[in-house]
A and B are shown apart, each in its own frame.
Chain A
Amino acid sequence: MKRRVVVTGVGAVTGYGFGADALWAGLVSGRSAVRPVEWTGWESAPVQVAAPVPEKISGNGWRNLQMARIALREALGKKRPQGAGGLAAAIGWPGPEEKKGEDPLGILAREFSLTGPREESLAACAASTQVIGEALRLVREGEADWMVAGGADGRVHPGGLLGYDRLGALARGYRERPAEACRPFGREKNGFVVGEGAAFLVLEEKSRAEKRGAKIYAEICGAAEGCDAFRITDPGEDAVEAAFCVESCVEDAGMRAGEVDAVVCHGTGTPKNDRAEARALRQVFGERQPWVNAPKARIGHLSMACGAVESVIAVLSLRENCLPCTVTESWTEDAECPVRMVRAPGVKGVRSVLKPSFGFGGQNACLLFRQG
C-alpha cells in the first residue's frame, strides 16, 4: 500500500505581497495584482502591465533566490518536521542587471539544513509542478522523511517583458485597465501578463505528520508528467498528451475523473494554450466538467514558479473549502475554449483540486490534491 503524503506547510511571495495568507486574501478580495509598469522611458513600449511583488525585497543573492528564501522560510514555519528533509525546486536564473549566481538549490539546502534528497527542474512553466510531483514520489516511496518543494521565478524586467512579447505571448496595452489584461479561456484573450514570486510546500508522510501534531492543509495524492513532443512554443493541438498527463495523475491518485471537483488551471490567456488546455479537460472529464479558475489573470505568469504558487492556491482552496473566482465581471466565455469558469464570489464544496501545468517545450506536469 502506498504511503500517504500530506501538505503541512505553505509559503508564498506574489504580487499580493509576502505570505500565503496575503495571496489568499488578495484572491478572495477580487482585487488584481496586475498594475501599470512605471519604468522611465517605457511609455511607448507595447507591454504596459505586469504583476511585480509590491514589497521591498532584500537579502543575499539574486531576486529569485531571495523570493525563494522567504517562501521557503514561511513554509517550514515555527516547527519543522523531524528527520532529514529534502529540497525539490525550480529557481529562475538571475536577471540581466543581477550578478550571476551559482547553484541556488545548494545555497538553499545549506541555509535551511536540508540534508535529504535534492531534485531540480528547469522544465519551463511546468518546472515547479514537476518537482512537487518528484517530491511526492520520494516521500511516498520512503526515500525521504519529508520534502520541501516549490519554485521561484520572475521576469518583471525590460528584457523579460520584451522577450516574451517577441514570442507574441503577452497581452499588449491595458495600462488603464490592468485587471482586464489577461483573460484565460475568455473572449478577447490575447496573451498573459508577466508576474513574479515564489512558493513552497512541505510534503510529509501522513502518519508522521499526525504523530507530531502538524497542521494538515491537504493530502497530495497524485502526480504525473509527460511531453507533447510537438513544438517548442506551441502545445500539441489535439491535446492528447496533455489529456494523458491529467488522466495519469488522476489514476496515480487512485481516483476517477468524476471525483475531481475543481481545477486550478494553467490558463495563460494565450489562444493556443487555452484551447489545448480546454480540449484536454474536455477529453478527460467529458460532460461532467469540474469548476476551474485561472490565477494568472490576477497574479500574472510566474514562469517556472507558476505551478508552485498555483499549488498553494489549490491547497488553500481545500483548506477554505472554496475555489475563488479569478476573472473580472466583464469576462465572457469563448466558445472555442469551453470551461466551467468560477465566477464571483467563488464556489464552495471543494474536496479535490487538480493542478496541471503546460510549459514551453511541450512539457506537461500535473498534481492532484484532496482534503486531508
Chain B
Amino acid sequence: MKTAEEFREVVRKAVAETLRRKEPVRDEQRVTADLGAESIDRIDLTFRLEEAVQKALDEKVLFAEPEPTVADLAERLKQMVEGR
C-alpha cells in the first residue's frame, strides 16, 4: 500500500512528464490554472496515472470541480486505488 506522500510523488512525476516541465511541480499548484494544463493534458495525465497505479481511473472524478491541486489529485488517486 502506497503512502500519501508516495501518491503525491506519483502525481508530481506524471504532471511533470505530461506538461514537459523542467521546473519542480509543487503540491499546492492547480493543474490548469497554475500549471497551464489543457483539456488534452487531462486525458494524457489520466493515462499516465493509470499506468502508474495499474488501475482504470475515472477522469471525470479525478478532475471534478473545484479544480484540483496536485495534492488534491494525489488524494483522489489514493481514494480510487484504495476503492473508497
The residues of B that contact A78 with a CB separation of less than 8 Å are 47, 50-51
Which among A65-73, A83-91, A280-288, A316-324 touches the partner chain? A65-73
Spell out B's residues near A (CB within 8 Å): 32, 38-40, 42-44, 47, 50-51, 58-60
Given A58-B39, A59-B38, A59-B40, check contact A18 B60 (CB 8 Å).
yes
Instruction: Give min CB distance, B57 to chain A, whole Å.
Output: 11
Given A58-B32, A78-B51, check contact A18 B38 (CB 8 Å).
no
Instruction: Give min CB distance, B45 to chain A, whole Å.
Output: 11
CA distance A73 to B59 in the complex (A): 13
Residue of A18, A56, A58, A60 near B43 (CB, 8 A) is A18
- Report yes or no: B60 in contact with A73, Cβ–Cβ below 8 A: no
Chain B residue at minimal CB-CB distance from A60: B38
Instruction: Give min CB distance, B26 to chain A, whole Å.
Output: 21
Residue of B43, B51, B58 near A73 (CB, 8 A) is B43
Instruction: Give min CB distance, B30 to chain A, whole Å.
Output: 13
Residue of B32, B43, B51 near A74 (CB, 8 A) is B43
| Any B CB within 8 A of the CB of A107 | no
Given A18-B59, A19-B59, A58-B32, check contact A73 B38 (CB 8 Å).
no
CA distance A69 to B44 in the complex (A): 11
CB pairs A–B below 8 angstroms (26 shown): A17-B60, A18-B39, A18-B42, A18-B59, A18-B60, A19-B59, A19-B60, A21-B58, A22-B60, A55-B39, A56-B39, A57-B39, A58-B32, A58-B39, A59-B40, A60-B38, A66-B40, A69-B39, A70-B43, A73-B40, A73-B43, A73-B44, A74-B43, A78-B47, A78-B50, A78-B51
Q: Which of A17-58 contact B (CB under 8 A)?
A: 17-19, 21-22, 55-58
The residues of B that contact A69 with a CB separation of less than 8 Å are 39-40
CA distance A18 to B44 in the complex (A): 13
Instruction: Give min CB distance, B47 to chain A, whole Å.
Output: 5
| Any B CB within 8 A of the CB of A163 | no
Query: Do most interface residues of chain B lie in helix, strand or loop, or is the interface mixed?
Result: helix
CA distance A69 to B43 in the complex (A): 10
Chain A residue at minimal CB-CB distance from B42: A18
The residues of A that contact B43 with a CB separation of less than 8 Å are 18, 70, 73-74
- Report yes or no: A59 in contact with B39, Cβ–Cβ below 8 A: yes
Interface size of A by CB at 8 A reads: 18
Given contacts A18-B60, A59-B39, A70-B39, list 14 more A-B pairs with CB under 8 A: A17-B60, A18-B43, A19-B60, A55-B39, A58-B38, A66-B39, A66-B40, A69-B39, A69-B40, A70-B43, A73-B44, A74-B43, A77-B47, A78-B47
Chain B residue at minimal CB-CB distance from A57: B39
Q: Which of A174-193 contact B (CB under 8 A)?
A: none
Instruction: Please encode chain A, from 140 to 160, with 1 for each CB lying within 8 Å of some chain B CB and 0 for all others.
Output: 000000000000000000000
CA distance A77 to B42 in the complex (A): 13
Instruction: Give min CB distance, B84 to chain A, whole Å.
Output: 20
The residues of B that contact A19 with a CB separation of less than 8 Å are 59-60
Instruction: Give min CB distance, A91 to chain B, whole Å.
Output: 15
Chain B residue at minimal CB-CB distance from A69: B40
Instruction: Give min CB distance, B41 to chain A, whole Å.
Output: 9
CA distance A57 to B50 in the complex (A): 22
The residues of A that contact B38 with a CB separation of less than 8 Å are 58-60, 66
The residues of A that contact B51 with a CB separation of less than 8 Å are 78
CA distance A55 to B44 in the complex (A): 17
Instruction: Give min CB distance, A69 to chain B, whole Å.
Output: 5
Q: Of residues B39, B42, B44, B51, which shows the largest number of chain A Cβ atoms within 10 Å of its Cβ?
A: B39
Chain A residue at minimal CB-CB distance from B41: A59
CA distance A211 to B42 in the complex (A): 30
The residues of B that contact A74 with a CB separation of less than 8 Å are 43
Instruction: Give min CB distance, B18 to chain A, whole Å.
Output: 11
Instruction: Give min CB distance, A55 to chain B, whole Å.
Output: 8
Chain B residue at minimal CB-CB distance from A53: B39
- Report yes or no: B50 in contact with A70, Cβ–Cβ below 8 A: no
The residues of A that contact B58 with a CB separation of less than 8 Å are 21
The residues of B that contact A56 with a CB separation of less than 8 Å are 39
CA distance A66 to B43 in the complex (A): 12
The residues of A that contact B40 with a CB separation of less than 8 Å are 59, 66, 69-70, 73
